[in-house]
């Protein structure tokens, strides 16, 4: 058997051949959350469109500082532009357009007002409390780049430009297969002897949906060569990518790899990570195939580390790079491993630092380890860990975006 492939090499090979072939489609802004921009978006107008007041107060000429002047106008947000009479001030409210002639705003707290007159403070700087035209966005400037996954604040920014509709890539369709004779769907009654519930299906459904993919659920696939090939062909004919769980190990009931090889090719198999060694990647006819291990924790971790970056690239995303963060080990590891290890940890803040505490049972079949965790701690090959030692963690919340 070939030696296990290091994670970074596997990732490099995966991403080298990943290209987005999805057509674009227009969507209304309110439907754009989580979609991937298919074209750069530029500002069409200056925002704000005119100088306006940052305060409730009075608009004035800074050279009139210290004088007592009549209040000649009232300007609220939404009022059309006006001009300021000589030797007067204008009452103004936040967002109100600065009248032509005024060059500063004083806060109402700093003004003594009585019988239609305002006693102005002595210290007034020209330009104070004015939000300048175009200070947020200048017409023509780049707002958001192609390949960006749209967030709520991006939708607000586009709306501030009067943009009601944006071009996004069509959703990536992923065919999902759960292999295993032992699997039963929750809701199908009590478990017969030898059976377990299918936990990977809803978990992978959730992971794919969180990424913004359209999931085509092909259900449970029996552990036979024929059923496996049939399901793979169905997936290849109806989706952009196939994601399966289970059946990629070395057991006699593991038909997935042979079936993929019979219908296409396996390009990658067996990665030097723990959990998740049996991960496989290849093609069924020309449709990319991702084979996740069956153990739920392995399926989850390999999805996040390998399938996620690959699927993001296929979706047209350019902003999916993952940040690891520094933390301290609230544990010790005395035996060095031969694979890069991803411990399921929960984090807490103490003395201004993040501490990582591993879940007690790190077995790849133990799904409660993931529900109890909020990060993965990265342990390099051949290294031990001392209590309090710095290490890198990856937040599960970051990975689910
Ligand atoms: P496999 O990779 O098919 O050899 O499966 C490895 C382990 O994961 C076995 O104990 C399986 O029963 C379990 N397993 C496989 N698929 C699932 C699934 N969809 N849900 C829960 N456990 C699974
Ligand atoms: Mg199996």
Give CATH for domain 52-131: 2.170.190.11
User: Residue 181: CB within 6 Å of ligand 1?
Assistant: no
- Ligand 2 ion: Cβ-proximal residues, 5 Å cutoff: 180, 246-247, 294
Cα angle vertex 35, ends 29, 39, to 5°?
80
Q: Are 245 and 301 in contact (CB under 8 A)?
A: no
Name the residue of 184, 217, 246 whose CB sits within 8 Å of the most ligand 1 atoms, as the mutation to test its pocket: 246
- Domain 24-47+136-169 belongs to what architecture? Alpha-Beta Complex (3.90)
User: Residue 182: CB within 6 Å of ligand 1?
Assistant: yes
Which residues of the chain register pLDDT less than 70?
none
Q: How many CB atoms lie within 10 A of CB 384?
A: 12
The pLDDT value recorded for residue 296 is: 97
Atom of ligand 1 nearest to the CA of 278: 2
Please tell me the distance from the alpha carbon of residue 60 to that of residue 395, in angstroms, as a whole number. Answer: 52
Interval between CA 258 and ligand 2 midpoint (Å)? 14
User: Residue 196: CB within 6 Å of ligand 1?
Assistant: yes
16 in the Ramachandran plot: left (φ > 0), alpha (ψ -120 to 50) or beta? alpha
Interval between CA 82 and ligand 2 midpoint (Å)? 75
Q: Hey, what are 333's tokens?
A: 């590891």
Atom of ligand 1 nearest to the CA of 220: 19
Q: Where are the alpha helices (DSSP H) in 212-255?
A: 225-238
User: Residue 324: CB within 6 Å of ligand 1?
Assistant: no
Q: Are 235 and 194 in contact (CB under 8 A)?
A: no
Give CATH for domain 7-22+172-314: 3.40.980.10
Q: Are 364 and 293 in contact (CB under 8 A)?
A: yes
User: Residue 246: CB within 6 Å of ligand 1?
Assistant: yes
The pLDDT value recorded for residue 373 is: 97
Q: How many CB atoms lie within 10 A of CB 257?
A: 20
177 in the Ramachandran plot: left (φ > 0), alpha (ψ -120 to 50) or beta? beta
Query: What digits encode the pLDDT tens for the residues 36-58?
Result: 999 999 999 999 999 999 999 99
User: Residue 178: CB within 6 Å of ligand 1?
Assistant: yes
The pLDDT value recorded for residue 321 is: 82
Please tell me the distance from the alpha carbon of residue 176 to that of residue 196, in angstroms, as a whole number. Answer: 19
Q: Are 320 and 368 in contact (CB under 8 A)?
A: no
The pLDDT value recorded for residue 1 is: 77
Distance from the first to the final alpha carbon of the chain: 36
Domain boundaries, given as residue ranges, for the chain? 7-22+172-314, 24-47+136-169, 52-131, 325-399
Interval between CA 327 and ligand 1 midpoint (Å)? 32
Please tell me the distance from the alpha carbon of residue 92 to that of residue 102, in angstroms, as a whole number. Answer: 11
Q: Whose Cα sits closest to atom 10 in ligand 1?
A: 295
Give CATH for domain 325-399: 2.40.340.10
Q: Are 298 and 251 in contact (CB under 8 A)?
A: no
For the chain, the average pLDDT equals 97
Query: What digits encode the pLDDT tens for the residues 46-103?
Result: 999 999 999 999 999 999 999 999 999 999 999 999 999 999 999 999 999 999 999 9
User: Residue 147: CB within 6 Å of ligand 1?
Assistant: no
Closest CA to 241 of 305, 303, 298: 303
């Amino acid at each position: 058997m070939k030696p296990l492939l290091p994670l970074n090499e596997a990732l490099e090979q995966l991403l080298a051949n990943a290209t987005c072939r999805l057509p674009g489609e227009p969507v209304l802004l309110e439907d754009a959350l989580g979609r991937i921009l298919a074209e750069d978006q530029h500002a069409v107008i200056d925002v704000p469109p005119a100088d306006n007041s940052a305060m409730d107060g009075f608009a004035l000429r800074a050279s009139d500082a210290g004088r007592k002047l009549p209040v000649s106008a009232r300007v609220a947000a939404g009022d059309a532009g006006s001009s300021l009479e000589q030797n007067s001030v204008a009452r103004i409210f936040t967002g109100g357009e600065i009248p032509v002639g005024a060059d500063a705003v004083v806060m109402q707290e700093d003004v003594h007002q009585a019988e239609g007159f305002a006693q102005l403070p002595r210290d007034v700087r020209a330009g104070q409390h004015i939000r300048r035209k175009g200070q947020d966005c200048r017409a023509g400037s780049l707002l958001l780049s192609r390949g960006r996954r749209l967030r709520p604040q991006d939708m607000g920014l586009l709306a501030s430009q009067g943009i009601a509709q944006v071009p996004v890539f069509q959703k990536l369709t992923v065919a999902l297969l759960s292999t295993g004779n032992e699997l039963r769907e929750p809701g199908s009654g009590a478990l017969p002897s030898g059976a377990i519930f299918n936990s990977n299906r809803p978990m992978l459904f959730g992971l794919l949906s969180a990424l913004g993919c359209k999931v085509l659920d092909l259900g449970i696939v029996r552990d036979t060569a024929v059923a496996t090939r049939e399901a793979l062909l169905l997936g290849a004919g109806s989706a952009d990518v196939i994601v399966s769980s289970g059946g990629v190990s070395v057991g006699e009931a593991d038909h997935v790899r042979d079936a993929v090889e019979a219908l296409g090719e396996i390009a990658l198999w067996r990665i030097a990570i723990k959990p998740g060694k049996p991960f496989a990647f290849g093609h069924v006819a020309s449709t990319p195939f991702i084979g996740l291990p069956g153990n739920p924790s392995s399926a989850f971790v390999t999805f996040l580390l390998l399938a996620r970056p690959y699927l993001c690239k296929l979706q047209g995303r350019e902003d999916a790079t993952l940040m690891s963060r520094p933390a301290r080990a609230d544990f010790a590891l005395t035996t060095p491993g031969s694979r890069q290890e991803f411990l399921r940890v929960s984090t807490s803040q103490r003395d201004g630092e993040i501490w990582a505490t591993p879940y007690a049972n790190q077995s790849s079949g133990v799904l409660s380890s993931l529900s109890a965790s909020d990060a993965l701690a990265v342990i390099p090959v051949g290294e031990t860990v001392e209590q309090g030692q710095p290490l890198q963690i990856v937040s599960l919340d970051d990975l689910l975006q």
